[in-house]
Each structure stands twice: as structure tokens, then as C-alpha cells.
Structure 1
Amino acid sequence: MKSSGSRTMSTLGLAGFLLVLVAVLGAQAQPPSSKLPGRKPDSREPWDAFLGRAAHYAIGREYSVRHPSSVVFLDNVNLYSIVKRGKLGDPERLSEFVRRLRPDITDTRLLVLFELKPDDEESRSEGREQVERYLAALNEAVDPGKQLVRGTGFEGTLFLEFENGGALWKLSWRTPEPGVTLYRWSYRCKKPGASWKERAAQKEEEVPREEVEQRGELAEQAIRAAYEGCERPKGFQGQVYLPAECR
């Protein structure tokens, strides 16, 4: 009986270990891939993953632009590197199960953290849980006086105009609760001769799937070029209006 009980406890312990491992890896998991028209011929990526990646890039870069004196880490940097490079404490205090996690925006001067999610209740709840996990892990590793908290007050809007009077895409984001920034893409149909500001006041619609399939790659390249000060991508005849121009 004693041996059987020990085996049962071992089994439960192993099951718990696996659940923790799955949860940690799941936070970094990429969506399942599928063919996306409009990308390069050999590219495989889900349709909604494109919109998410473009939004993450634009919102992360915009945070960095607004806080030029901060040390800002975006979602390509893990917790271990954030603690080490941000000089917050001892990264070795992070467990093996959390050190590879990557928050979307971490500011190690202001000591705040944001997670970016699509603007719906399920994603908002997921973002809240991720923020709690990141902060719990980070604050176990940082030095006294360097505890991180949930960021607030971060919002903005940018527009992509594909040609004069043509399709107008809008990316907007808000932080309705500390640490969770929600983003949304919307669309204004063509109205030749109207300015982008006039069309921005039009009724917003969901971005048509065919629009994303046709212009998805171009939109991402145009946003990157606008923030990096590069030449606009070939085939893009429109304009990117960054948040500073939209306020």
C-alpha cells in the first residue's frame, strides 16, 4: 500500500510538472500556419497573425518613440535578457520555465510592462493572465526598489492610405486596464478626392479579407519604412500617418 501511494504521488507530481511546462511554452506558441495570399510565395502564416504582427511592431515602436530616454524591450527579448540588460537584478533567479517568456513592451526606466492583445474579451483576459505571470516572475528576480508594475495611459492611432482617395486602414490601441493594451484594425472604403482626414470620419468597417490578402505585406512594409525613415516600399503609392500626425 505504501509503495502504491508513493507511485501515485510521483505520477501526480509528474503531471503537475508537465502542466506547468505546457503553460509556459504555450505563452510563446505561434499560431498554426496556413497559406496566406499576398505574402511572398514561400511564406506560410495565418491571416490574423499578419495583422497581429504588424500591430505589435507599430505599437512597440510608437512606445519607444514616445519614451526616448527609456530603455525599452519589445517582444523579441526574453525575461532573462530584460533583467540582465536592463540592470534590474540577477537573471539567474528566474526559473528555467519562465526566463524565455517575452513580454510585448517592458520599460526598465519607468518600470512598467504592457501586453498587447486584439480588442476582444477573450484576448483581454488572456493578456491579463500573461501580465500577472510576467510580473510575478520578474519581481522575484529584480533588486529592491526596482519592482515592475502594469503600465497605464498608453493609446494611439495611425492610418495607412494606399492611394489618393483609396482604401484607408486604421490601427488604434488603448489601455483600458493597467498592463493590457488592446488594438483594433478598421477600414474606410474608397472615396476619390476626399482627404484622409475626411475619410477618417467615415463609418468604420472591418478590414475586408481580400484587402489584407492583397495589401497585407505592403502595409507592414510601409509601417516599418515610416518608423525607420526608409524609402517607401515598391508599389506603395500612399502615405502612412503616424500617431503624432493623428493627434
Structure 2
Amino acid sequence: MRDVSRSESRMGRTWGLAGFLVVLVAALGAWAEPPASKLPGRKPDSREPWGAFLGKAAHDAIGREYRLQHPSNTVILDTNLSTIVERGSLGDPERLSKFVRLLRPDITDTRALVLFEIKPDGEESRGEGREQVGRYLAALNEAVEPDKKLTGGTGFEGSLFLEFENGGALWRLSWRTPEPGVTLYRWSYRRKKPNASWKERTAQKEEELPGEEVEQRGELAEQAIRAAYEGGERPKGFQGQVYLPADCR
């Protein structure tokens, strides 16, 4: 009976450890995946909330803008830590444990040795971003060479505007980096004002983006921003203009 009890005790400890590892891997997978990362395009039967869809659009636009502003740097967007270390020639990716190598910072600049995590503008999201940045830096800086340690980036901010028709609804995507590595974004809205220029309309009262606007124009907004950065044609149904940060200066 003693042998059976010892065997059962060992088996219990083994299953307990296995359960812990499964939970840990699942949690790391959740940290590694940015909001709405599985949204290549809004489908009519999509179960993702519209807010998550606009989150994807914001991540895409802000990442592209950082890359545009640093054309000589190696800027890696939404990529796992193992690939970042390898592509950036920062050190040995094998030094990363298997539990952290799949974590994915939103923006990593391997020349400036900084990274950013993009979050909606809010205290809870800001705290989550701070924790993720700390986790990324701790993992990366264990694997990189001593002279290639990374830090949280600073001073990254900007905005872009979407105008729907002449004097139609004006949307603004703005972002700021209030603490190292944490970039917060916000969508806002200005009501219709026919025949007024978009620059005149930026002085209008800024409001929260209405839910019906998001549902009606969310997919067009994402497509229009992507086309503006890529120099492509306007998406079908979009009769307005996109004003990128370079146009707003």
C-alpha cells in the first residue's frame, strides 16, 4: 500500500506540474497576440467587435508611421522575440526560453534599440502596456549582446484624419507615448460641416466616435488608411480623403 500511495503522490505532482505549464503557455500566448490580430478584413458574419476591428487599423497605421519616420532603421512590426533577435543581429535567439520567444512587441527598432507596445488610451490599457513592455525588455535583454540592450521608446506621437465626403464626418486617429515603450491611441470624431475645409474642421469640438459611425464606416476607414500608406487606389465606396501625419504638419 505504501508503494501505491507514493506512486499516486508522484503522479499527482506530475499532473500538477503539467497543468501549470499548460496554463503558463496559454497565458504567454495571450500576451504574445496583439488585439484583433486575427482580423485580416471585416466580414459580414464576423464575431469580432467593431472596436477590436478599429484597434487593428490603429496598430497597422501607427506601425507604418513609425517605419516611415525612421526609413534608415530596421523596424520590425508585430514579430516574435526570437525573430527580432535574429533579424536585428542583436545576439543569440537560443538564449530565449521557449516560454518567451513567441512574445510579439508591436514595434521594435533594432537600430535605435527601442520598442513600443500600442494600446487604447486608458489607465487599464496603459498598465497592461507597461507590464508587457517590461516583460519584453527583460526577455530580450537576457538574449542580446551587452552593447545592444533595448529600452522603451519615447517621443513618438502623431495623428491622422479621415474625411468622409466633402464636409462629411471627420475622424481622427491620434497617438502619444506618455511613458517609455507605451504608445496610447484614441479615435475621435467631428460632426458634419458641409463646404468647410478639413483644416477648418479640426477646430471643431472633438467627440467620442459614435457606435453607428464605427459600424457604418469601420471597414472603409481601415481600407482607406492602408491604401493611403501603400499608395493604392481608394477602396470602393470611399469618397473622402485621408490626411496622413505628413499632411497635418
TM-score, scaled relative to structure 2: 0.90
Aligned length: 242
Contact 2:118 2:182 (8 Å CA) reproduced: yes
- Which position in structure 2 is the counterpart of 1:47? 50
- Which position in structure 2 is the counterpart of 1:114? 116
Worse-superposed segment, 157-166 or 24-33: 24-33
Deviating runs (4+, > 4 A) in structure 1? 1-16, 29-33
- Which position in structure 2 is the counterpart of 1:23? 27
TM-score, scaled relative to structure 1: 0.90
Question: Does the alignment pair 1:178 with 2:185?
Answer: no
Secondary structure of 2:134's aligned partner = helix
Unpaired runs of 5+ residues, structure 1, are none
Q: Which amino acid aligns with 1:241?
A: Y
Deviation at 1:183, TM superposition (A): 0.3
- Which position in structure 2 is the counterpart of 1:96? 98
Deviation at 1:26, TM superposition (A): 1.9
- Superposition CA RMSD, Å: 2.2
Matches within 5 A, 1:65-214: 65-75=68-78, 77-214=79-216
How many Å separate the matches in 2 of 1:170 and 1:30? 22
Contact 2:35 2:55 (8 Å CA) reproduced: no
- Which position in structure 2 is the counterpart of 1:63? 66
1:64–1:146 CA distance, 2 compared to 1 (3 A) = same
Q: Which amino acid aligns with 1:53?
A: K
- Which position in structure 1 is the counterpart of 2:245? 243
Q: Which amino acid aligns with 1:68?
A: P
Unpaired runs of 5+ residues, structure 2, are none
How many Å separate the matches in 1 of 2:145 and 2:33? 30
Identity over aligned pairs, percent = 73
Q: Deviations over 1:20-48 (max 9, x none)?
A: 32321221357699xxxx94334442211
Worse-superposed segment, 139-148 or 165-174: 139-148
How many Å separate the matches in 2 of 1:53 and 1:39? 10
Question: 212, 235, 239: which is aligned to 1:233?
Answer: 235
How many Å separate the matches in 2 of 1:32 and 1:161? 24
Secondary structure of 2:242's aligned partner = strand
How many Å separate the matches in 1 of 2:154 and 2:110? 15
How many Å separate the matches in 1 of 2:244 and 2:49? 26
Contact 2:159 2:172 (8 Å CA) reproduced: yes
Q: Deviations over 1:79-129 (max 9, x none)?
A: 111111111111111111111111000000000000000000000000000
1:57–1:31 CA distance, 2 compared to 1 (3 A) = closer
How many Å separate the matches in 2 of 1:29 and 1:102? 7
